[in-house]
Amino acid sequence: MKKFTLLFIAVFVLTTAFAQKSKPAFKSGEWLRYKMSYSGFLRAGSAILEVEETVYKGKKVFHTIGTGWTSGMIKWFFEVDDRYESYFDKDDVKPYLFKRKIDEGGYKKHRITAFNYDTNKAYIQDFLNQKDTIVPFTNVQDMMSSFYFLRNYDVSSLKEGDEIALDMFMDSQVYAFKLRFLGREELRTKFGKVKTLIFRPLVQSGRVFKAQESVTIWITDDANKIPIKMNASLAVGSLRAELEDYKGLANEFSKI
């Protein structure tokens, strides 16, 4: 269960499909709650995504907050308390400010990244190491804004095997991220049967994931395009995340 943050990213940042540009996929007030299970039966924790409208440096922006934590027996030997925040442009989802504060079994990070589009440089404050860094960038998304940027992308022409690519800014570096479209499926959920799109993010193999293609995501095939289920094979065991509750969706949640 090392690097729980990568699992959080897999569910909420790197694992989202795309909605039609003509119909916004989210709005202020959206709230999504997920339950996470280890090896199919043991509750591992919970995660919540929230969206609210606010003002940042005189501009109306979306402020999104993602929190994740372990619970139950898992918390006894691996406690997680993660918080991610992003402030991004309401129209083109251009990130302005990203905050990351995590504690994963003693593995901690506390950083704030500000994106300056006049200089095309990101200014990173590392509070734990008491170090500031400046990194050049072009056309990037942060770990949270990626999720919302992709949800508003037009997926209507995607075919099985197609891949979507973007550059993600994380930990003072830019990472190339790809998402592969696998097809469609009618999925049985606690909300009823739901039409879904299936995607597979290409993640880094190693201590956490068994292989580069060990994560599979099911996205609602409606105007909201929210992740409703995720399966991940880990180095030890597996992790499953499922949508547990929601409110404030921009569009009707379509069910069969």
Give the chain's end-to-end CA distance (angstroms, integer): 36
37 found inside a domain: yes
Is residue 66 very low, low, confident or very high in pLDDT (cuts 50, 70, 90)? very high
Query: Mean per-residue pLDDT for 145-165?
Result: 87
Provide the pLDDT for residue 152: 82
User: Measuring CA to CA, which residue among 129, 38, 118 is closest to residue 76?
Assistant: 38
239 found inside a domain: yes
Query: Mean per-residue pLDDT for 127-135?
Result: 96
Provide the pLDDT for residue 213: 62
- In the predicted model, is pLDDT for residue 22 greater than 90? no
Provide the pLDDT for residue 15: 38
pLDDT digits over 75-86, tens only? 888 889 999 999
Average pLDDT, the chain: 86
Provide the pLDDT for residue 126: 97
184 found inside a domain: yes
Residue matched to tokens 């995590």: 102
Is residue 2 very low, low, confident or very high in pLDDT (cuts 50, 70, 90)? very low
251 found inside a domain: no
CATH number of the domain where residue 129 is located? 2.40.360
Domain with 15, as residue range(s), is: 4-244
User: Which is more confidently placed, 144 or 76?
Assistant: 144
Distance CA 4, CA 12 (A): 13
Distance CA 47, CA 44 (A): 10
250 found inside a domain: no
Could you count the other beta carbons within 10 Å of the beta carbon of residue 138? 7
Tell me how many domains the chain contains.
Answer: 1
Q: Residue 94's Cα: distance from chain center in Å? A: 16
DSSP helix/strand/coil, 129: coil
Is residue 162 very low, low, confident or very high in pLDDT (cuts 50, 70, 90)? very high
255 found inside a domain: no
Distance CA 224, CA 227 (A): 9
Could you count the other beta carbons within 10 Å of the beta carbon of residue 83? 15
- In the predicted model, is pLDDT for residue 17 greater than 50? no
Provide the pLDDT for residue 211: 52
Q: Are 250 and 42 within 8 A, CB to CB?
A: no
Provide the pLDDT for residue 204: 54
